[in-house]
Each structure stands twice: as structure tokens, then as C-alpha cells.
Chain A
Amino acid sequence: MGEKGRGWNLGLAGLLTPVTIWLGLFFLIPLLLILAYSFGTSGVYGGITLGFNPGNYLKVFDPLYLQIIGRTFFIAALTTLLCLALGYPLAYFIVFKGYRRRNLLILLVMVPFWTSLLIRAYSWVVILSGNGIANKFLQFIGVTDEPLTLIFTPEAVLMGMVYSYLPFMILPLYASLEKFDTRLKEAAKDLGASRWQTFWRVTFPLSMPGVIAGSILVFIPSAGEFVIPQLLGGSRTVMTGTLIQTQFGAARDWAFGSALSVMLAVLLLAAILFYVRRVGTDKLEGM
């Protein structure tokens, strides 16, 4: 550690120049640009006049748009919760009951994690559409006689989201449970704790870093999602991502689209800070 370079020198500048140029020019400056555009005024043919026009942000309070934003955060939160409820038992199973098959079991989670989200969302289009497998199954078990409208509903979007982001929850949970010292469980048991008590008072609190990481990894992309609502929600379940895309596409209102993007980024950041504060600090204390 004593050998660590201190302060700036030529070598360090050389190492950092490429990333500074790339992330500065193609990440930070574009973000500042949409911040500037969000206060601009869109022309009729898509041009933009810079200035200080808070109108784009005020437009967000239109009940129509408020409903879309509310729906976005509701679906994202529900997706996160469902992923946690479905993913935690699986991660627990792999770590504590997987034994020698542990590596294979986690690899089976990594395969969907690495494969195209677009293709995995499309698989639900095939299943839910018209007279697809889902409807055939429902008719077979006698829930319905006529095919039901399953696609282009909020439930279809939720289904697609949970399916797409479940591996994003399981992997960090696995990583944090894997580090767990099983002797702590034995100690709790020896001290007379039931399985239930051991889980809630020992195992779960110690896996909090995984819960937080997984929740953030699921919540952010689902709140910004635009492919799944497009394919499975249609025009009836519009989410913020779809709304932003429309402003930069058909609607050609770049100023409003920029304002929505800035707002989405800021709201997400606030939600994460709030979540980490609420769930994080009091549970993470003493770790």
C-alpha cells in the first residue's frame, strides 16, 4: 500500500485521459445537454430554442402524465418486490441445499441473465397473445371458455418484467448468502432459536447487502423500461420509458422528452437514496 502513487503525475494522467474523454464527451456532456434542453422550447417542426422555460416540467403535472409516471413507479416497485419474494428462496436453496450441484444451479440462473432481454420479452408475446399457450391452458383447466385478453394489459407487463429481471435479483442474493458463515446458524440453533427465528434474526439481516444490490438492479431498469411495455402493454399500458420514446419519435417534442428523462433520472436517484437510508443503515449497522 505504501507504494501507491500519491497525487497527480504524468503516468496517472495517461491512464485517465481516455476514460475522461470518453465518459466526459459521451456520457456527462450529453446529460448536461438534455438538462439544458429540458428548459428549452420545442418548435413546431422539432427544432429547439434554448432558454429558461419551466413549462416542460409543469406539463408533467398534467393528470394524464402523472398517471403514467405513477404507474411506472408502481409497476417497478411491484416487480422488485415480486423478484425478491421469488428470488430469495431460490438463492437460499442454491447456497444451503445445493451441495455439490451449487455451480450448475447458479449457472442455470446466469444463462437467462446473459441472454437477450428482447428475446425473453418476445417469448411472452408468443405465450400471451391471442389464442396462445396461456389461453389454451386456461381453457383446458376450465377457467374460461373464450380466449381472454391477456396481452396488452398491466398484468402482462408485470409478468414480462418479473421474468426479465428475476436473475438480476438472484445473483447478488447468491453472492451475499454465499459469504455467510454457516457456523452462525449452528450457533443460533444451539442457543435455542427455531429455524424461523434463525432466518429472520441471523440469516436475513446478514444478507441485506444482497437484498439492496438486487433491489437496485431490478428497480432501475424496470422503471426505465420501454421494450416490455411496448411489446406486452401496447397503447393501454404506457410507461414513462414509452412516453419518452414518443417525444423523441412521433411527437417530436424534444424539450418535453428531455424534461421527462431528467425527471426519471432524478426520481430514481432519490428513490434509491431513500431506500438505502431506510432499509440500509439500521439493518447494516454493526456489520
Chain B
Amino acid sequence: MAAKAGGPMQKGVGKLPDRALFLFSLLIYAFLYAPILVLMFFSFNSSKSTQSWTGFSTEWYRALLTDQTIHDAFRTSMIVGVTATLIATAIGTLTALALTRHNFRGQTFADSTIYAATVMPEIVVGVSLLVFFVAVFLPLGVELGIVTIVIAHVAFTVSFVTIVVRARLAGMDESLEEAAQDLGAGPVTTFVRVTLPLILPGVMAGALLAFTLSFDDFVITFFVSGVGSSTLPLKIYSMIKFGVTPVINALSTVVLVVTMILIFGGSRLLSRREGA
């Protein structure tokens, strides 16, 4: 009763914190987006400056279209991203199946290794792979380059795929698999016809995550790339080091817009699938 009597008054007091919270949240969103918008804004600047506005121009986007080194870096990034994603998704899905469908000795060790791979600082992963490739691969005649980049990208994305697919498998009704097996399906048929279609959204989400991580990775790639091949992030980094120009802004804008379209598209796709 006493609480009820206090109701309207509490509501009156509650308005101020609510408004403050709303304003604070608005500021945080502004903080998250303003720097990106500033960057995009100056990609259309007509002068070489990224600091003062002199007029509208698409000059830097035209420069982007004619720069062969950027095209090469983009191609390398795509080849690495697609290859690493395919391998990591396949291995990660198998691992997730092993971890959810079986109890075995050494499971704790397997679990810890997978989590350790996701939390290990990138720089430690990067230098340890560099040391490994120089000590083991160079004597075998494998130079640092696209092969070592793909290997490294699979190594650091496979755990993320495993975790995502595993979450999907954990939420799956196992009796469906049992039913398939009772009806005479072998383990392979059960997997292809029952399990895989059910966990496909998880597998796709894992693949999308692996591709994004690979496509955006700078630190690990920096250590294992050698001199010959450059991915897009490596190219952007060297451009920033060489001197800030609006071309970097134009390139960044393209990368940001493509990423945003992928995210909005991906979330649409996922929510539609869940709704169906």
C-alpha cells in the first residue's frame, strides 16, 4: 500500500534520470559515428587537405580506381579471406560437432585451447607465427607470403567458428538426429540431411565472422606477410604512414560502406530466417 501511494511521486522523480539517460545515450551514439562521418566527409574534399574543406570533388575516388597497388591489395585480401573462411568453417564445424556430440578424455584441454586462441593478444599470435614460419617453413622453401597469411588466418578464425557453430548445436533438438538414425539413416546421411540444414544459420554466421575477421586483420598479417604480398589493411597502414591523403579517406569510406551493407543485409537475412 505504501509503495502504491509513493507511485506517482516516484514517477515524477523518475523522469529526470530517464531524460539524462536518453541524452547520454545520444551522445555515445554521436561519439561512435562522428569520427567515421568526418572521415567520409573529407573523402569528398577538393584539396589535398584532410583538415579544411575547400569544395566538393570525387577526385580521390577516381584516384582509387586507377591505383593498381590498391587493386592488387584488394585481390589479395579477397583470395585470403575466401580461402581462409572455407577452411576455417569446415574445420570449425567438425570441431563443434566433436565437442557437443562426444565426451572424451582431453576435452577440457581442447576447450581451453580453443578459448585461449580467441583471447590471446594478436601481437603474441603474430610474432609466434613469424618465428615458426621462419624456423620451419623457410628451410622447407616456403617463403612468407599468401600461403603463410592464409594459414595464420585459419589459425586465428577457426576458434571463433567453432564457438558460433557450437552455440547453434547446443540449442538443437538431438531427438531429430536420433529419429533419423532410428529410421535407418547412417551417420553421414543424418549429418547431411538433418544436422547440417538445422545448424546452417550458425555455420553461415561463423563463416561471415571468419571472413570479416580475416578481411579486417592487420596485426597478425603484418607479421606473417613478408615483403611480396600486401592485403588491404596492410596497404591502408602503409598509406597512413607514408602521409595522410584524402585517397585513404576514399578507400576507408568504400570499405566502411561495404561492411555496413553486409551487416544490415546479414542481420535482415538472419531475422527473416528466424521469423520463418
Contacts and interface: CB of A to CB of B under 8 A. Distances in A.
Nearest to B151: A26
Given A5-B103, A107-B267, A127-B35, A261 B98 contact: no
A111 interface: yes
Contacts of A125: 240, 244
A116 B101 contact: no
Interface secondary structure of B, over-half rule: helix
A89 B35 contact: no
A33 interface: yes
Given A116-B216, A122-B236, A248-B223, A15 B97 contact: yes
Contacts, number: 246
Given A5-B103, A264-B121, A112 B32 contact: yes
A138 interface: no
A142 interface: no
Contacts of B110: 16, 19
A6 interface: yes
Nearest to A191: B3
Nearest to B175: A3
B127 A119 contact: no
Interface residues of B, number: 87
B240 A231 contact: yes
Contact of B94 (A19, A26, A27, A107): A19
Contact of B104 (A7, A29, A224): A7
Interface string B108-143: 001001100101111111011111100100000000
Interface string A87-128: 101101110010000010001111110111111101111110
Nearest to B6: A192
Contact of A261 (B21, B39, B127): B127
B17 interface: yes
Binding site secondary structure of chain A? helix
Contacts of B132: 26, 29-30, 33
Interface stretch (A59-67, A129-137, A201-209): A129-137
B21 A195 contact: no
Contact of B127 (A3, A8, A244): A244
B273 interface: no
Sorting the interface of chain A by its residue count into under 10, 10 to 19, 20 to 34 or 35 or more gives 35 or more
Nearest to B256: A115
Nearest to A35: B128
A206 to B, nearest CB: 19
Interface of A: 1, 3-8, 11-12, 14-16, 18-19, 22-23, 26-31, 33-34, 37, 86-87, 89-90, 92-94, 97, 103, 107-112, 114-120, 122-127, 129-133, 136, 163, 166-167, 189-192, 194-195, 216, 220-221, 223-224, 226-227, 231, 241, 244-245, 248, 254, 257-258, 261, 264-265, 268, 272
28 contacts: A3-B177, A7-B105, A15-B97, A19-B94, A19-B95, A19-B98, A19-B158, A23-B155, A87-B28, A90-B29, A108-B33, A110-B263, A111-B259, A114-B212, A116-B236, A116-B256, A116-B259, A118-B237, A123-B36, A126-B244, A126-B249, A132-B50, A132-B51, A189-B3, A195-B10, A264-B121, A264-B123, A272-B119
Interface of B: 2-3, 10, 13-14, 17-18, 21-22, 24-25, 28-29, 31-33, 35-36, 38-39, 42, 50-52, 90-92, 94-95, 97-98, 101-105, 110, 113-114, 117, 119-125, 127-132, 135, 151-152, 154-155, 158-159, 162, 174, 177-178, 187, 212, 216, 218-219, 223, 233, 236-237, 240, 244, 248-249, 252, 255-256, 259-260, 262-264, 267, 271
